[in-house]
Amino acid sequence: MLGIETSCDETAAALYQPEAGLLAHAVHSQVADHAAYGGVVPELASRDHVRKLPGLVQGVLRDAGLEAEALGGVAWTRGPGLPGALMVGAGFARSLAWGLDVPAVGIHHLEGHLLAPLLEPQPPAMPLVALLVSGGHTLLVQVAGFGRYRVLGDSVDDAAGEAFDKTARLLGLPYPGGPAIARLAEAGRPGAVRLPRPMTDRPGLDFSFSGLKTAVLHAVEERGSDEQGRADIAHGFQEAVVETLAIKCRRALEQTGCRRLVVSGGVGANARLRERLDALAAERGFSVHYPRLELCTDNAAMIAYAGALRLAAGERGDLDFSVRPRWPLAELPVPG
């Protein structure tokens, strides 16, 4: 199965085979192209996908020592994402599949993220609870089986990754904010800046991170003038996000009776979050599973994997390659 991902500012291709696992994967990030504009410019993203995608696909085929004729199917990201960027992957994937006379499967990007931890050795069995923390989403999902998802909690405003990115900007750090804040936080003094743990004082599994951003703004006005102050703020912010996520994960596991947690999305690469969830798992007797770091952020390995599972479940896309820039996870059809 060839996987193709072009939903935002990463162009990616990957090859996955059910018996052998992940054969090859490659990602080209456009971060540097958009840096000067302070955010992703959709038109530039689409054009760069056009330029990079064919070479990436040829690259993974070469890495795996395969000819295109060996492909049994092509999985591509149908949404959610930037419409023009999605169309590049959709058009390329559908045409290639048509030319090779193999099935094409349009994949929900968040299903990809959610399944990424299962690409690792000794994947957990289902049912499980998934924490999906990316640039655009913060979701707690009950996973009864492949394709059977129930959203338990969602962000009512900013996503966790978005909060890292906006806080980074307030601290004068570059995009993406997550890694930059994690680095700066290492020099921060524990307890020097204490920020709120939003929505943990009431029941429920929803998240809200926009108030935290306002708290950071005030802290920056008060303490952000020197390097130690900024490090303390980064530390306090990271602790607040990590603790908030940990509290909601614990609640979701208690509420569902699940004993397994998977974590995915870019914020899932955060070392402090992993440390905190590992400690919680040891304390409460559940297991927690993460993708390798490079499969936390956008990649095509997760798309190829989801595609292989959907193909095995009998799903076949038709010749249509319409995209779904907005696509709630709850509207994803159950396979088979």
What residues are designated binding site for Fe cation?
109, 113, 298
Minimum CB separation of residue 119 from ligand ATP in Å reads 15
Say if CB 216 and CB 198 are below 8 A apart: no
Give, in order, the Cα–Cα distances in Å from 36 to each of 9, 31, 184: 14, 10, 22
How open is the CA angle 34-38-43, to the nearest 5 degrees?
A: 45
Q: Is 48 within 8 Å of 85 (Cβ atoms)? A: no
Question: Which lies closer to Fe ion via its Cβ, residue 26 or residue 184?
Answer: 26
Q: Report in angstroms how near the CB of residue 317 gets to Mg ion at its nearest.
A: 25
By C-beta, is 9 or 315 nearer to Mg ion? 9
Q: What is the CA radius of gyration of the chain?
A: 20
Nearer to Mg ion, 177 or 317 (CB): 177
Tokens of 183: 């680095």
Between 7 and 46, how does the x/- string for binding to Mg ion read (CB under 5 A)? -xxx------------------------------------
**Residue 298 binds ligand ATP, judged by CB under 6 A:** yes
User: Which listed option, Fe ion, ligand ATP, Mg ion, none, makes contact with residue 165 (CB within 5 to 8 Å by class)?
Assistant: ligand ATP
CB of 80: closest distance to ligand ATP in angstroms?
Answer: 7
Instruction: Please say which residue, 134 or 270, places its beta carbon nearer to Fe ion.
Output: 134
Quickly count: other Cβ atoms within 10 Å of residue 275's Cβ: 11
Nearer to ligand ATP, 4 or 97 (CB): 4
Residues annotated within a binding site for substrate: 132-136, 165, 178, 270
Selected range binding Mg ion among 4-12, 77-85, 89-97, 208-216, rule: CB under 5 A: 4-12
- Only one of the segments 71-79, 135-143, 144-152, 216-224 lies at the binding site for ligand ATP (rule: CB under 6 A); that segment is 135-143
Give the span between the Cα atoms of 237 and 243, in whole angstroms. 10
Q: Which of 161, 188, 198, 291 binds ligand ATP (CB under 6 A)?
A: 161
Range 215-218, long-range pairs (CB < 8 A, 24+ positions) = 216/167, 216/170, 216/171, 217/170
> What backbone phi and psi angles, to 5 degrees, belong to 214?
-65, -40
> For the residues of 319-334, what is the DSSP string, one character each?
S-----SS--GGGSPP
The residues pairing with 62 across neighbouring beta strands, listed in sequence order, are none
The CB-of-168 to Mg ion minimum distance in angstroms stands at: 14
Partner from Fe ion, ligand ATP, Mg ion, none contacting 16, C-beta within 5 to 8 A by type: none
Question: Per-residue string for binding with ligand ATP, 101-130, x by CB under 6 A?
Answer: --------x---x-----------------
Position 224 contacts ligand ATP (CB under 6 A)? no
Cα torsion 136, 305, 115, 208 to 10°: value is 0
> Max alpha carbon distance in the chain (Å)?
63
- Backbone φ and ψ for 14, nearest 5 degrees, come out as -155, 155
Cβ closest to ligand ATP, residue 74 vs residue 269: 269
Instruction: Enumerate binding residues for Mg ion (CB under 5 A).
Output: 8-10
Instruction: Enumerate binding residues for ligand ATP (CB under 6 A).
Output: 8, 109, 113, 134-137, 161, 164-165, 176-179, 182, 265-267, 269-270, 297-298
